[in-house]
Chain A
């Protein structure tokens, strides 16, 4: 991870937390702000280890809930040292195709970086972006889009 990237991510986390503290985040049903918090599409890598994390519109910052999910994934990966994973980054349909490919790549790498800070070797993690090409929910509404803005950890072997 390059220095300016660490700087950028830190900056994003700081600015995000400022934003979060500045305005009370609305929680409506399965959304906090516009980040999906429900369980509808979530699958499990092992008991209690969700396979995916969700993002806000146009964002690649990991939420508190996402970090908790990734810590569970990291500890599962530590216990199962022979398992490698692919992180699949996705975007919602409300963006141009090429930018969304880049955005999906950035999201999956945000998840990868976090797993690596918990001791998982980068060699065990590969990353692929599908941009907006593989939604889980076909709906054209904010809830469907929030489910589609995701990084999914998939067993590679």
Chain B
């Protein structure tokens, strides 16, 4: 894949945001049944820049397009209710300089986003402001410059800044999802690695579908991915640099390596290694290639995931007779079972905030995505379905993405696999748009902090 040139510089021309007191505040710790009404005024573009962008990007009105990205992000978050632009009374260019707050209050907007895009030195320069309509003042202003091909990312960055200003927590919009794109019959499914922006745009396929690929996971510190490939019919853990497209095998042991994930510092891969009917957990240092055996038990030990401080590992084991979730120190000592509810538990994933573990649960023929504290208390089931598994956390630990499959008959009719997301609150469940059927999603870190 072509290296994406991306550079950005941010200049704060008002320094008081983050500290400024304002009336609007969005509580993201509860299910939000009354999303905050706000107006995303189309970014204004001068005529000359408009023509230039039209040439470069084939977009009639780049200002409106970027605003649509922001609007869609905010709506999908479930916390905001972007109002219909048809109701806006004030022109974008004037609103950006001096909003008439009465007009915006009239349509019940509590916050207003305005902005301007133009071409400066062949680059896209955007500035935007966030206004508190009720208090009648600006609460944030920001400008940055980037290459014009990155125009959708401009919308994501604006959303992240607005989200952070209004909720007090980092956003998750300038991120990507890597997943497995699926096609064909259930009995001979073709699977490819695919990557897309968090909102389903800019899909790229990273493998051709010649071999089975499963469970891609992002390195939390860069754009590397680890996954399982059946290349030459040898199921092995691979490493892929999505910028260069270079792949290499990392778990080339005489058996099967699978269930890979990165350590939080990105320097190790933790994975399962199966041989002679037994799966144990191993780590491999990516620089020294040193391999360490972490568990040593005749049962199945798999699906390992580190705590964000790297001190602990949660994993899946059937050492009690059935699949349950365990936590141990990262050297493999002090193994402790933490799941004790009814049913089977799998795919534990430690939250990037450190306080929760997300999991898949199977109970009485239904599959659940849930969370529990790291000591196993406070189990909360977020969603129930015929089949769903493999949660992955948004980088701010507020949203989970997973995949869901539907029932089918013996000919495979009725079958589908789709990505879904749900808030930690259990509200705001949404299907995530993908070009093909999809499974095994993994959420990247924020691309720009």
Residues in chain A within 8 A of chain B (CB atoms): 1-2, 4-5, 8, 58, 60, 93-99, 101-103, 105-106, 109-110, 113, 128-130, 133-140, 144
**Given B212, B215, B344, which contacts A98 in the complex, CB threshold below 8 Å?**
B215
CB distance from A152 to the nearest CB of B (A): 13
CB distance from B441 to the nearest CB of A (A): 12
Inside 8 A of B405's CB, which chain A residues have their CB?
93
Inside 8 A of A93's CB, which chain B residues have their CB?
387, 405
Interface pair B415/A138, CB less than 8 Å apart: yes
Inside 8 A of B408's CB, which chain A residues have their CB?
138-140
Inside 8 A of B323's CB, which chain A residues have their CB?
95-96, 99
Give B259's nearest chain A residue, CB to CB.
Answer: A98
Interface pair B274/A133, CB less than 8 Å apart: no
CB distance from B364 to the nearest CB of A (A): 12
Cβ of B411 < 8 Å from any Cβ of A?
yes
Interface pair A96/B346, CB less than 8 Å apart: yes
Give B405's nearest chain A residue, CB to CB.
Answer: A93
CB distance from A44 to the nearest CB of B (A): 20
**Given A110, A128, A140, which contacts B277 in the complex, CB threshold below 8 Å?**
A110
Give A15's nearest chain B residue, CB to CB.
Answer: B321
Interface pair A4/B298, CB less than 8 Å apart: yes
**Given A2, A99, A136, which contacts B316 in the complex, CB threshold below 8 Å?**
A99
From known contacts A4-B298, A8-B298, infer whether A96 and B387 are also in contact, taking CB-CB under 8 Å: no
Cβ of B29 < 8 Å from any Cβ of A?
no
Q: Return 8 A-B CB contacts under 8 Å, by A number.
A: A94-B362, A95-B346, A97-B440, A99-B316, A106-B279, A128-B233, A137-B187, A138-B186
A129–B386 alpha-carbon span in the complex (Å):
25
Cβ of B278 < 8 Å from any Cβ of A?
yes
| B265-290 contacts to A (CB < 8 Å) | 272, 274, 276-279
| New contact pairs (11) apart from A96-B303, A133-B189, A138-B412, CB-CB < 8 Å | A4-B298, A96-B362, A97-B440, A98-B258, A98-B346, A102-B279, A106-B274, A129-B235, A133-B212, A134-B188, A139-B408
